[in-house]
Amino acid sequence: MDKKVFFAALDRQRIETPSWGYSNCGTRFGSIPAPGQAKTLDEKLEDAAIVHRFTGICPSVALHIPWDTAPNGDWEAMKRRADQLGIRIGAINPNVFQDKRYCLGSACSPFADVRAMAITHMAQECTAIMRATGSDTLSLWFGDGTNYPGQDDMRARKRRMEAALKEVYAGLPANSRMLVEYKCFEPSFYHTDIQDWGSALLLCQKLGPKAQVLVDTGHHLSGCNIEHIVAILLDEGRLGGFHFNARKYADDDLTVGAINPYEMFLIYNELVAAELDSDAVASACAKQVAYMFDQSPTLKHRIEATIQSAVFVQEMYAKAVLVDRAALAKARAAGDVTSAEDVLKDAYNTDVRPMLAEWRTAKGLAAEPLKAYRVSGLKEKAIEERAKRHGAAAAGSGGGFQ
């Protein structure tokens, strides 16, 4: 492939980092403190800016409300702070699962006052933050569902969800969109109200063109063919976003690429193929997909884990760009299954690290982002400064959780 074409493709790659990935992370059994971890939104923005500084592909940070708060409610000031740091505010993620009043559901709750609380949070509070920060994406995930047969009427819950999302959709700011995420189980283990991509797609189709499906790579049953889901949603023009992570069992939220790197390559292969497709719907859809990490870097330093993920997805994207599309089409047309698979394996087995290092150097970036960060002294500086700012708690106990 021509180097200019290859580098131009790398120039287009963007992936968002999550504010919650820079603070207390851990497991469902509790969070794990670490020295120098971010405690305020301002510090999370600082960390996100560092990731972008070393990778060049992470210019935005997603917020989770009310996990993230602006001092005195001044979200315009937080926007200015992000601008000052060279990044921007990305997707706004409402929290409609943590409050105990959501124990029987939020948008699907059998209680009208609980549904109203959830709708107000999404359609008023979070959209106001979108307007103030310049965010163009409202990203929705619901823990709604039931844990026991007979607990609630599943068809009635479906209608409640539709009615709630119609109100939220109507309140979206101009030139923005709504991403609807799904999850096969947890915390509801009998049924989940938006349990798969089909349920999410049905909702989006009823809401309108500004509603699209968000795929989280950890939100599927074992053995699920995620790239197939991606292909279908692209063809329908309804793939809106990704939350990248890795899992061994279920929604483990591990560092991207930690478990099944070939799966990520195959997902990117579908996305790149759609970008190049002559079909206008699939091509346009692929070019506007919003990518984000949604990982809990257990036992890893937060910034290091995020840089590690960024480097990995850049490698998988680069490999997908290198797929010989003409050779693949020829093999498929001839029914040559072995050659078709080998075309993909040839691209996957290509060592793209030297090419990425060259691209980074040309951009004024460090050739090896993680190594450069680790010798920069920025981690030690944050530990020292934040310990002074927040007291001994910010220093942490150290241990292995670096």
Pick from 56, 45, 63: which is nearest to 13 by CA? 56
Positions of CATH 3.20.20.150 in the chain:
10-321+369-395
208 dihedral zone (left: phi>0; alpha: psi -120 to 50; beta): left
Q: Which residues pair with 64 in a beta bridge?
A: 93
For residues 295 and 21, is the Cβ–Cβ distance under 8 A?
Answer: yes
**Residue 401 pLDDT:** 41
**Which amino acid would we find at residue 131?**
R
pLDDT digits (tens, 9 = 90+) for 182-224: 999 999 999 999 999 999 999 999 999 999 999 999 999 999 9
Q: Which two three-digit tokens encode residue 383?
A: 């530990």
pTM above 0.85? yes
Q: Using CB atoms within 10 Å of the CB of residue 358, give its burial: 0 to 12 exposed, 13 to 18 middle, 19+ buried.
A: middle
Q: What is the DSSP letter of 171?
A: T
* Cis amide linkage into residue 94, ω under 30° from 0: no
Task: Give the CATH H-level superfamily of domain 10-321+369-395.
Answer: Divalent-metal-dependent TIM barrel enzymes (3.20.20.150)
Cα 164 off chain centre by: 24
The span from the CA of 239 to the CA of 177, in Å, is 12
Q: Which residues pair with 212 in a beta bridge?
A: 179
Q: Does the CA dihedral 235-236-240-243 come out positive or negative?
A: negative
For residues 121 and 158, is the Cβ–Cβ distance under 8 A?
Answer: no
For the chain, counts of helices (H) and of strands (E): 17, 12
For residues 82 and 68, is the Cβ–Cβ distance under 8 A?
Answer: no
pLDDT digits (tens, 9 = 90+) for 304-328: 999 999 999 999 999 999 999 999 9
Instruction: Report the C-alpha dihedral over residues 84, 86, 90, 93, rounded to 10 degrees.
Output: -60
**Residue 399 pLDDT:** 44
Q: Using CB atoms within 10 Å of the CB of residue 377, give its burial: 0 to 12 exposed, 13 to 18 middle, 19+ buried.
A: exposed
Phi (first) and psi of residue 164, to 5 degrees:
-65, -45
**Residue 394 pLDDT:** 56
With tokens 């480097």, the residue in question is 311
Given a cut of 70, the residues of the chain with pLDDT beneath it are 392-402
**Residue 1 pLDDT:** 86
Pick from 190, 113, 117, 97: which is nearest to 147 by CA? 190
